[in-house]
Amino acid sequence: MTSVRAKREQGTTPTASSAGLIIAVMVIAAFVMILNETIVSIALPQLATTLEVSTSTIQWLISGFLLTMAVVIPMTGFLLNKFSPRTMFLAAVGSFTVGTLVCAAAPNFAGLLAGRVVQASGTAVMIPLVMTSVMQLIPAERRGAMMGTISIVIGVAPAIGPTTGGAILALLGWRWMFWLVFALAVVLFALGAARLHVPAKKEPSTLPAGSVALSAGGFASLLYGLSTLGQPGALVPPWACLLVSAVLLTLFVLRQRTLQQAGTPLLDLRTLTYPRYRTGLLLSLVVFMALLGAGAILLPIYLQGVLGHDPFTAGLALLPGGLTMAAISRPAGTWYDRLGARKLVIPGAMGMAASLWGLALVGGAAPLALVIGIHMALMLSLGLMMTPIMADSLGTLPDPLHSHGSALLATLQQVAGALGSAVFVTVATLMSVNAASGTPDGDGIRAGFAVAGMIALVGVVMSFRVKAPEPRRLP
């Protein structure tokens, strides 16, 4: 038994079945962890009342989660090269499990926020881990289909999070949102400890503490500034946070360029020298602004605050869109393997823009069925885009840069989601008739969706820069 395990850790190639098991366990774990990212969004008003905090304070259960992920994810490129995937998986699921237990038993808001931060630390590691494992274990001709599965995780999980949270909230209460997830996390940790033996090529290196400090400070300041835009009573003015972020991230980039010459960067930015990766990265930012900012944050506000539906109905109304994205993501990966990214991304970008402008044009008395239909069209379009973008951008990188490319992609996706949420909600609030109340009305929501639609038009223009697939040489 010891010799078999030693061979596995020394980098022997896994069989097809073992590779499938590895990816399956990681994908299921990632789905549960990313679902948790938005599962509490539908419960924020009730949690504010139950925990006796203000609306702006309770929002930190989402903002704090995103902030922690933006701080931790840049370190994952280094960690994935230093530690084996098995070690990283157990560390990620273990910290997520502990954080979920803290949330479930939290006596007050501070305890709940602390648990969310620990949860986010594990989630931040899992996303790049799954992407990197696919690039290392799956042959190039099958990566599109596998990336389709990952798209279900990254895109569908946050999309159906509010639906899941609304149902649990209505039937069992808010603590069960965490107790149920805790039970799943314990099972996944046990399964990973027993069955997950992943080939690994570890590189001896030392964590660059200066780069970690610059990265953490830069991304934390950026997300804090974005999260407090338009909110009165912020501890630090948003403009000051954004200025500090710009300085720290500039120093971080310069530091990485210096460390690249010695081969010890925290985040290898040579990934940005590959045009396909740059294009996919920029398009991914537009997709996540639409997915998280418009679909997961602004749309639930519209359904509850403008159309007047209760949390359970609002969450249920988002389910068809999430299922639509789940249904299209895997076929989109198969189509990518056959057609390449260009023929999928261009129509997907057009559908995304049309759907967001459709939401901007519907009024405050729109039928629920119409809103559900437009949301389904939006999620269908995003599903067509997400898989080809990830597969095409990461597939162009050489093996040593896969972990760094995954980490940078995942980091900026979270930043884009936070940026979209902050900008769209702020615009919706400021453009409302009674802006002083801090509650968006129908006119404000339409303005928020219009801004999202304008950003989507930029994505349409960028989609034409996606290149056709290069011809593959037959063996």
Rounded to whole angstroms, the Cα distance separating 381 from 361 reads 18
How long a stretch of residues is the chain? 475
Closest listed residue to residue 376, CA positions, set 362, 347, 355: 355
Give DSSP secondary structure letters for 205-259: ----HHHHHHHHHHHHHHHHHHHTTT-TT-SS-HHHHHHHHHHHHHHHHHHHHHH
Per-residue pLDDT, 451: 92
- Token pair of 184, please? 């799943």
Buried b (16+ CB within 10 A) or exposed e, 404-413: bbbbbbbbbb
- CA dihedral defined by 225, 228, 234, 235, rounded to 10 degrees? -30
pLDDT of amino acid 182: 92
Please say whether the beta carbons of 345 and 389 come within 8 A. yes
- Cα–Cα distance measured from residue 121 to residue 444, given in angstroms and rounded to the nearest whole number: 35
How many Cα atoms occupy the beta-carbon half-sphere of 391 within 13 Å?
36
The pLDDT of residue 203: 57
pLDDT score of 4: 42
Q: Note the pLDDT of residue 469.
A: 65
Please give the C-alpha separations between residue 321 and each of 44, 147, 164, 332, 371, in angstroms, as whole numbers: 22, 20, 13, 16, 10
**CB 265 within 8 Å of CB 207:** no
Give me the tens of pLDDT residue by residue for the chain, a chain 475 residues long.
Answer: 444 444 444 444 444 447 677 777 888 888 888 887 777 777 777 787 788 876 556 767 877 787 787 778 777 767 777 777 788 888 889 999 999 999 999 888 889 999 998 998 888 888 778 777 777 777 766 666 676 667 667 666 776 777 778 788 778 888 888 899 899 999 989 888 877 776 655 555 666 777 778 888 887 788 777 766 666 666 778 788 889 989 998 998 888 888 777 667 777 788 888 888 899 899 999 998 888 778 877 888 888 778 888 777 887 888 888 888 878 877 887 888 788 888 899 999 999 999 999 999 987 778 999 999 999 999 999 989 888 888 888 888 887 787 778 778 877 887 787 778 778 877 887 787 665 555 677 788 888 899 999 999 999 999 999 887 654 443 3
- pTM for this model (two decimals): 0.75
Residue 416 confidence (pLDDT) = 83
d(CA 307, CA 179): 31
CB atoms within 10 A of CB 402: 23
Amino acid identity at 464: F
Q: Residue 475: its pLDDT value, please?
A: 35
Q: Name the token pair of 268.
A: 């290898």
For residues 135 and 199, what is the distance between their CA atoms, to the nearest angstrom? 13
